[in-house]
Chain A
């Protein structure tokens, strides 16, 4: 088969992070090529290079397409060559009709005036091709996600697509919609459309892919043909390291109960009658790392934020004790004064002032600690920040560096420093390793262990079950706003956690 696309030694550097390091990718004409890799491995970045989101010159390496070197300046350029990407988040305008969406930016018009008759006719043809039976004038927002995904593909077909890139196309789809989409992919392949699919779902890849390329930490690990594909090998290549060494060793030594939450109820901030947290209760001991597991939307972040100064929701009720005494956590100031700190899951939007230097971010939650009668002692501020920079190994030339220029891991360490400077007894860490690379994750784990060894209590909220299993002494399982179970380190396993979530859901229904 002829080679349609060859990407050679592609490297892409963001401030502080090397997202792609000499990645190679070869796609043959007419095949479905799957790309696998962990979160943050660099798959999406590679596709953005290919589709012109990152223009020629902002990366290193060469792209050969159809025998010609490719130097894209924008998405428009790549679309003109027939390279079309469908992103994870759909790019449809919900208030416009199917026909309007299909030809958005590519309108069927002469001299700026749209020819609706022809647009509708072509819409019907395209909808037939993707097997969708809807009127062209239907508003897109009224369709389900599965149908919207098909409209995205129809939109790509409207542009004479030669290479179609699908970034996790089935992530938001139900099982039967996923099957339909995969069938459509095979049909398009029969019509000669080359496709690249990014997916986590190994069964789907096994069904449609002709070849697979695995990417890890910004580099190509392997490319396998259809007959070589095995789940074990894909997983091994994706993870690439021994599970045993992903988490630092620790011998836990839990002390007396530090934080105790009882009967905690919270309602939705806008919808008064919608209860988000139901009768939640949990405890954290000194020197203990406690995990909270659950699916997206289980209410973990909402639980943490509502405890931290009622930063989420309304109508709070329930009791919070620290060291046996009932404490007032009704404002952030009071929660901090009670010895609680909350490290947000969204550090850029909620944790940091990106345009300010490291030292101003670290002092932010405890300005009183560097001030005398309301006047800042900037020398002390710099000393404090420098102390944390050394202690947590924040990699930067100095504490005057703006945090926007730091890598995700170092930004996370700045947020941690900010909260450590308030000297909390209990730290609630919400997805503390989200979006940071493997090496930095290990460092964050090490810091967590040190904090626990100092006698602080740690609550770790995470969507990555292996991480919870590797780090926590106890794990609470949350589902639909309730704490549905508790597992000790010895009993905990991914299967048990999933079973607790599913069983309780079944009961409620």
Chain B
């Protein structure tokens, strides 16, 4: 009885974190089931679809990582779609127009993205111009700059090496062929690391005097996650292996999760968003942190821009329209607060995946773009209502 009470209390306390994961699983199961019972059954979980979810939504996840920091700091960045388009066009121009190799193009573009972020962050951080206005201006300026740079035309196609940024897969160093050996090894390593980190966190929870989550729940959740990762990994291995984009995504997610939760600078960004005045009076240089959040956002927007450009094999003036809204929606579905100071990297990634899985599922079902937009809008609203309702209880 006591055990049960502990379980329900724990679930209540961590509803949000586990709730997002459950929602993602429910959505996946829902589409899998409904597609099985179509007149012509479709396997939703086939390797190609799984690969595509990551390929088609990689840029949203990358933008959402940066957007989380901006939103945690109490700001917003509406310009990321335009900045991604501009940096994508810039990379295309360097590659095709100037003829630079990809290993020069990538750092150069990231630097330009950082400079754009610095330009916007400067006004927000040091002049206290509202970020909504600065980045709304940036949204228009860089859309225009994209058109100017492209001269109203598309640039492409690109050499294989640059395309590999988005369409490539990791090489199989084991020579196993199919299933892809290196993919299997990496996935196994990832599962093992996850279990090890989970166990370590439980031990330190006990040391902090935090009531650890009930053992049953921990085992259950870890098993489900391990099974899901194993399944996805095996499917990917049996198709073409790990896409390069996915390697980038996993690395960035791990790095940003560590940064936000375990570093001094990460902690300070949350403090700044939670109460800027208190943070400043505690000796935290809040303006510099806001500036850095925007620089980081610019760099990630440039990365997203290059990945999208490489995937389309063409830089177009209309690229990146609406990216900012996808990224912002992912952050809020992922549990961040509009007021700043809260939100987790893992939640944001799951938020972006929920949007991505729904896009793909609805497209396969043949649901029109009109209904897709409405449904996605309602999902965002429901997720945030769920948050507010939980807090008011």
Contacts and interface: CB of A to CB of B under 8 A. Distances in A.
B190 to A, nearest CB: 22
Contact of B208 (A352, A354, A379): A379
B265 interface: yes
Contacts of B210: 398, 400
Interface string A233-245: 0000000000000
Contacts of B208: 378-379, 382, 399-400
Interface string B204-215: 100111100000
Interface in B193-221: 204, 207-210
B267 interface: yes
Contacts of B270: 356
A468 to B, nearest CB: 24
B278 A309 contact: no
B115 interface: no
Interface string B260-277: 001111011011001101
A98 to B, nearest CB: 35
Given A379-B208, A382-B209, A365 B282 contact: yes
Interface residues of A, number: 36
B178 interface: no
B176 interface: no
A375 B262 contact: yes
Interface string B333-359: 000000001100000000000000000
Given A364-B271, A367-B264, A374-B264, A350 B209 contact: no
Interface residues of B, number: 26
A386 interface: yes
B279 A379 contact: no
Nearest to B273: A353
Contact of A355 (B204, B284, B341): B341
A311 B278 contact: no
A311 to B, nearest CB: 6
Contacts of A371: 263-264
Interface in A360-413: 360, 363-365, 367-368, 371, 374-376, 378-379, 382, 386, 398-400
B366 to A, nearest CB: 44
A342 B264 contact: no
Contact of B267 (A360, A379, A399): A360
Contacts of B277: 349-350
Given A354-B275, A355-B274, A378 B281 contact: no
B280 interface: yes
B151 interface: no
Contacts of A308: 281
A416 to B, nearest CB: 13
A374 B263 contact: yes
A307 to B, nearest CB: 13
Nearest to A311: B281
A441 interface: no
B274 A376 contact: no
Interface in A332-356: 332-333, 335-336, 342, 344, 349-356
A376 B260 CA distance: 11
Contacts of A378: 204, 208, 262
A350 B278 contact: yes
A386 B207 CA distance: 11
Nearest to A335: B283
A333 B283 contact: yes
A331 to B, nearest CB: 8
Given A356-B271, A376-B267, 16 more contacts: A308-B281, A309-B283, A332-B281, A332-B282, A342-B281, A349-B278, A353-B271, A353-B274, A353-B278, A355-B274, A355-B341, A360-B271, A367-B264, A367-B268, A376-B264, A378-B204
What 4 pairs between A and B have smallest CB-CB spacing?
A353-B274, A365-B282, A382-B208, A332-B283
